[in-house]
Amino acid sequence: MILSINRNIITLLFFKAVFLFVLISNLSYAQDSSDTINLKKDTSKVKLFEMQRSPMLAVGLSLLVPGSGQVYVGSYWKAPLFLGGACALAYSVYHFNQKYQNTQNLYDLVKKENNEDNFFRLDSLRRYKEYYRDNRDMSAFYLLGVYILAAVDAYVGAHLYDFTVSDEFTFMISPDIRYAPGINLMFRWGK
């Protein structure tokens, strides 16, 4: 019994000692307020950052003609993709609308005949009419998506226009098995 009480006291004392050691070692790294120096900077000569490209102008150009916002921010290779996609989808809307109008007119003519033998023809024309209408609407929806995507890309491109990407920044992930399995992350600035 006395041995078990001593073992409990020794364990408690050990944990208290570890706690005090951790507490004292953490306090030794605390910053002393007397070491800080308050430097006042002259802000009259500080040059504020000014963007080279206006994001709202890039969005406006891109909404006017898809791809023109990309040309404005210097992403020349993206401009023909957005312009080509918008032109193809605009033609698709026009094409399916023409087919829909022609099928609608033919459907109305066949329906006016009021002939019982035209039931299958009316059903077929109705299905074609719905097919062309659905494809027209989907093409218009995709065209709207191209416009929105071009505008968002131009907006982001205008914001990132002044951002420099150099080889001086390195990010590397590698496995680390020295002490225990893990991952080693390394960031390096400069050469």
165 located within any domain? no
Residue 25 lies in a domain: no
More confident residue, 94 or 9: 94
Q: Is residue 14 part of a domain?
A: no
Q: What is the pTM of this model?
A: 0.62
99-119 per-position pLDDT tens digit: 999 999 999 998 888 777 788
Q: Is 113 a member of any domain?
A: yes
pLDDT digits (tens, 9 = 90+) for 18-42: 665 665 655 555 555 555 555 566 6
In a domain, 12, yes or no: no
* Alpha carbon separation from 82 to 57, 71, 135, 170 (Å, rounded): 17, 11, 20, 33
Of 50, 96, 54, nearest to 73 by C-alpha is: 54
Angle between the 79-113 and 119-159 helix axes, to the nearest 10 degrees? 160
- Give yes or no for a contact between 66 and 81, defined as CB atoms under 8 angstroms apart: no
Query: In this structure, is residue 7 part of a structural domain?
Result: no
Question: Is residue 89 within 8 Å of 143, Cβ to Cβ?
Answer: yes
Structurally, how many domains does the chain consist of? 1
**Residue 145 belongs to what domain range?**
55-159
**Model pLDDT for residues 45-95, shown as the tens digit of each residue:** 667 767 788 899 999 999 999 999 999 999 999 999 999 999 999 999 999
Is the residue at 27 inside a domain? no
pLDDT at residue 3, rounded to an integer? 46
Residue 109 lies in a domain: yes
Read off the pLDDT band of 1 (50, 70, 90): very low
- Residue 189 pairs with which residues in a beta bridge? 169
Tens digits of residue pLDDT in 167-191: 666 667 777 777 777 777 766 666 5
pLDDT in tens, 127-170: 999 999 999 999 999 999 999 999 999 999 998 888 776 666 66
CA–CA distances in Å: residue 89 to residues 29, 80, 82, 96: 64, 14, 11, 10
Do 53 and 158 form a contact (C-beta atoms < 8 A)?
Answer: yes
